[in-house]
Amino acid sequence: MASARFPFLMSAGTFAVAVCAIVALSPSPVASAPGKPVALHTAAPSAQPSPEALLQLIRNQFRSHRPPPPFVSYTIIRKQQTALGYPDELESYTEHVWVRSTDRAALAVRVYRDDYRGDMTFERPAFNEPRDPGPPTADLFERAPVKPHNGLNDYIPTPEPVQTLQTLATVKATGETAYKVVNVAIEGPLLHLSVVPFRDVERNRLREIYADKKTYELRRVVATDRLYIDGGPSYGVIFTVDLQMLQGRPVVTRIHGVVGDGYDGDGQVVDYWFNDIRFPATLPDWYFDPRDYTAHLAEKPL
């Protein structure tokens, strides 16, 4: 059976806002000073964000933390089962990863039992690509590539988005997004937005968005992805991505994936955990050039 590798990567309704106007009335003018009556005032309605403005506020808040730190290191734990329900040892593993954010070049070292570490390998963690998703600082609002990249060197970094603000009602938010908000709900401390893409369903992958209702910080997304079979077809995947705040910025901490489109092979359900996330101030240049690995075997990071 071909080896399966995963990359990463809302019900129609309305959101009504009740506006209360408090009107200060007096039966007759009351003098504050001889010959000077007090003017009557009506309080202005308190405008609330529309569903579309809410989405843009969430997106703006997420992207206010970008660009990410120059370097990110983390441990990724991947677990899945075979089609028969047994642990899939080949595709369940732990890796230490060091990433350069500008081009997502990464050094990875597989962790085995006891103290043994595997060889140094070059990777480019990415969502919607035929490899493991990541890094935990990835832009979850970024569109998927038009087509998967052919190899680890076939990669052109996507420039960080430039924020341009416009006024929507009484809030400022980035202009037109790729999604239509079809439902908004308040679930405890979270805002839950269900969205559908205006276009490019395969590339605009978000379907459900959860954010803190006070700060608009992103807490969870449900997104589409693809499972790529080596030498075979690809299948649609639904990823549930959880985030937490680390040093004042949102990072991915867990991904739960379920493969659809009738897939019944190994790894129909897969889970990733991102642990020990750190932002090193600097890392050696050779970490990101696989041609230098053999010259630094004695310096392999643990």
16 confidence band (pLDDT: 50, 70, 90):
very low
> For residue 35, is it within any domain?
no
**Total structural domains in the chain?**
1
| pLDDT value at residue 21 | 38
Average of per-residue pLDDT across 34-61? 73
109-165 pLDDT, tens per residue?
999 876 788 999 999 998 878 888 999 999 999 988 766 655 555 555 555 555 544
Give the model's confidence band at 24: pLDDT under 50 very low, under 70 low, under 90 confident, else very high.
very low
Is residue 24 a part of any domain in this protein?
Answer: no
State pTM to two decimals.
0.77
Which of the residue ranges 60-74, 137-151, 246-260, 272-286 would you say has the lowest mean pLDDT? Answer: 137-151
Q: What is the pLDDT of residue 37?
A: 54
Question: Has residue 54 got a pLDDT over 90?
Answer: yes
230 within domain boundaries:
yes
Per the domain annotation, does 231 fall within a domain? Answer: yes
Confidence of residue 231 (pLDDT cuts 50, 70, 90): confident
pLDDT at res. 36: 52
Q: Could you tell me if residue 39 is inside a domain?
A: no
Mean model confidence pLDDT for the chain:
81
Whether 17 maps to a domain, the answer reads no
pLDDT at 165: 46
Distances (CA, A) of 227 to 217, 238, 301: 29, 10, 30
Q: What is the pLDDT of residue 160?
A: 56
Tell me the mean pLDDT in the region 17-34: 42
> Residue 81 domain-assigned?
yes
Q: Residue 41: what pLDDT?
A: 53
Residue 6 vs residue 224, higher pLDDT: 224
Binned at pLDDT 50, 70 and 90, residue 28 comes out as very low
Is residue 29 domain-resident?
Answer: no
Band of residue 298 on the pLDDT scale cut at 50, 70, 90:
very high
Q: How confident is the model at residue 2 (pLDDT cuts 50, 70, 90)?
A: very low
What average pLDDT does the segment 44-67 reach?
87
Q: Which domain holds residue 126?
A: 4-9+50-299
168-223 tens-digit pLDDT: 444 454 455 789 999 999 999 999 999 999 998 989 999 999 999 999 999 999 99
The domain that holds 221 is classified in CATH as 2.50.20
